[in-house]
Every structure is written in structure tokens, then in C-alpha cells.
Homo-oligomer: A and B are copies of this chain.
Amino acid sequence: MTISEFLGIELPIIQAPMAGVQGSAMTTAVSNAGGLGSLPCAMLTPESMRAELQAITAGTARPYNVNFFCHAPPVPDAARDRRWQEALAPYYAEFGIDASTIAPGGGRAPFSDEVADVLAAFRPPVVSFHFGLPSPALLQRVKSWGAKVLASATTVAEARWLEANGADAIIAQGLEAGGHRGIFLSDDLTTQIGTMALLPQVLRAVRVPVIAAGGIADAQGVRAALALGAAGVQIGTSYLLCPEATTTALHRAALQSPRAEHTVLTNLITGRPARGILNRLMKELGPIGEAAPAFPLTTAALVPLKAAAERQGRDDFSTLWSGQNASGCREIPAAELTRLLAGA
């Protein structure tokens, strides 16, 4: 079954939820164009989520997706926090920042009953999860209003697990993909495989529809993924230059520069491995650092550094998520891009 039939949309295109660089404007535009627009909720408070959902339901009558993280809340670790502070100390000195004034926190909450309460009023037709699935009871709540549940697998084992635990469709996230890896059954990054290898193996392992993600940037990539047997595709990076995206000017510039040819998996930004354009922090500390606190506690210590560097026009500590194929980025409205991607 194609994802279009399965989700009741016109085109086999899901716009990947991208926390921090898009809100409801992107969601609405893509859904109205016939794709599936997504709202990333991991960084929203229940109040702002409600406002965004009101905007979406006012802006489109078509299906849309809301996306959540479902990580286990981190256990604070004072020794690790100290190592992280020490690793960043030279940067605090360079930018004249008093590290003792930094507020702790992570700003990314897992899916919860409180969030489900807000969601229930809107009954979103599609809900997607990253880092596994929420508890069976929470998953049941989401399904109780008829929502289709999508979840990301980065290995064949994760795909089997997600199908067995109630996912209605699986996003096979190849390691080309930008942003957070969905990896949740292991923390061994050598298990992560490319879309061309992951997709066929997931298709053999599960019976639910499989959506391809990772490295797909244009209509030719979409055709290739469908030829490989995908029921549809999920695309993120290509949307980052659309006017509806809230991508910063520094991030937009990096995406349009030769630097976009070199992305890395890094845990330095949030504590979990995510793919972005190599910046000074990753270059100097190495992209995967033992000192980075557990997700999402890594983020707080970087906030003042990001801000100070960005004031100088530098992306030394910035979040520059991108997949390994930024060649499909276009400065055109998200609706137009969606139709182009579908070859429509």
C-alpha cells in the first residue's frame, strides 16, 4: 500500500519534522500542497503546541503529522556535567562568558500524558515518534482517536521492534538523514546504515508500509526510493531554505556553501547523535565526545556560546542540521517544493 493511500494524502511526500527550524506555517503549506506536513513538538511547551495546532487546523483541512521524541528522561550526572564545563571552559574564556550563571535544562521533553491531553482535543490524523515509542498506555491514547502512528527505525532490528510494538508504518531512516538519528535499541553508531541498504532489508522484515528517509533530495531521489519499494518518502533538508522555514541566516548560508558537502554525526549539540554541517566545536572537540551530558542536557551549556558567537556572525557552536545531500535545497515556497519533489 502506498503511503498516499494509507494516510489519505495526494502525494507520497512527508515533510520531515525539524524541531527548531519550522513551525505550523511549513506544516500547513505542505499539507495543502498534497503532501503530509509535520509539526515538530519536542521543543514546544503544551501552550505553544496548542497554538500551533490551532494554526494548522485553521489553515488546512487535510491530514498532517505531529512529531514527538520519546526518550527516557536523563539522569543528571554531576561528574559528566563538570567534564563538559571543563571541555567548554576555553570557549567561555574566549567569549567572556561567566559559566556559573548558566541555567541548567534541556528544553526537549518526551511525549507525556500532559502532552496527550492537549493533543486529544485536536485528534491529529498522524502522530510520529522518534527514539522508539511511548508507553503502551500512551500509544493507546493516541490510537484511540484514530491516529496513524509512524516511527523511525535505523536498523532492521528496530524496524521489527517498532512493528511488534504497534507502529502502523515505519520510517527507515538511512544514515544520510539530517538531524537526530532515531536510534533507540543500541548506542553503537556502527549499526547505522545507508538508505540504499536499510530500505530493502526493512521491507523484507516487516509488513507495515515503509517510508524511506535519508539522502533523498529531489524528484529523482523520490523516484529511486519508490523504485526500491518504499511506500513513500520523508524529506527534511531540501525544505530548509523555504520561506516557511525559520532556518537562521547562518544556517542558510552554510547549507548553500561547499561546507554542506561535509556533515558529521555529533552528540555535542544535544547529547544524542545527530547529523549536521561540521562547525568549529565539532572540529575541535571531535564530533562524538564522551564529555557531552546525556540528551538533552548537553544543550544548556552551549546556549550562551551559540549566542555570543552568532552575534559575531559565526556559527562556531550553532546547530546546523543537514543531511548528507543538501543539493536539493531550494529558496521556493514549501508547496512548490512539495509538488516538485513528487514530480507533480
**Cross-chain contact B223 with A196 (CB below 8 angstroms):** no
What residues on B are CB-neighbors of A323 within 8 Å?
197
A155 adjacent to chain B (CB < 8 Å)? yes
Residues in B with CB closer than 8 Å to A225 are 196, 224
Question: Do A200 and B221 contact each other (CB < 8 Å), given the known contacts A156-B261, A174-B194, A175-B194?
Answer: yes
Bound complex: CA of A216 vs CA of B223, how far in Å?
16
Beyond A201-B325, A224-B227, A225-B224, is A261–B176 a contact (Cβ under 8 Å)?
no
Contact flags A311-326 to B (C-beta < 8 A → 1, else 0): 0000000000001110
Find the B residue at minimum CB distance from A216: B196
Report the interface size class on chain A. 35 or more
Contacts of A157 in B (CB 8 A): 261
Q: Determine whether the beta carbon of A214 is less than 8 Å from that of B196.
A: yes
CA distance A196 to B175 in the complex (A): 10
Residue on B nearest A228 in the bound complex, by CB? B224
Q: If the complex has contacts A220-B228, A224-B224, A261-B156, are A324 and B200 also in contact, measured as CB distance less than 8 A?
A: no
Check: A215 CB closer than 8 A to any chain B CB.
yes
* Contact of A327 with B by CB under 8 A: yes
Q: A190's contact among B155, B176, B191, B262, by CB below 8 Å, is which?
A: B262
Verify if A65 is at the interface (C-beta below 8 Å from B): no
In the complex, are the beta carbons of A191 and B262 less than 8 A apart?
yes
A244 interfacial contact with B, CB 8 Å: no
Q: Does A167 contact B (CB under 8 A)?
A: no
Residues in B whose Cβ lies below 8 Å from that of A261: 155-157, 201
How far, in angstroms, from A152 to B225 measured CA to CA in the complex?
23
* A166 contacts the other chain (CB 8 A): no
* Minimum CB distance partner of A325 in chain B: B197
Q: Which residues of chain A from 286 to 330 have any CB-CB distance to chain B below 8 Å in the complex?
A: 287, 323-325, 327
Contacts of A174 in B (CB 8 A): 194, 196
- The answer to whether B220 touches A196 (Cβ under 8 A) is no
Answer yes or no: A18 CB below 8 A from chain B CBs: no
* Given A176-B194, A196-B214, A196-B216, 19 new contacts (CB under 8 A): A156-B261, A175-B175, A176-B193, A190-B262, A190-B287, A193-B215, A193-B324, A194-B195, A194-B215, A195-B195, A197-B325, A198-B324, A200-B217, A200-B220, A201-B261, A201-B325, A220-B227, A224-B224, A224-B228
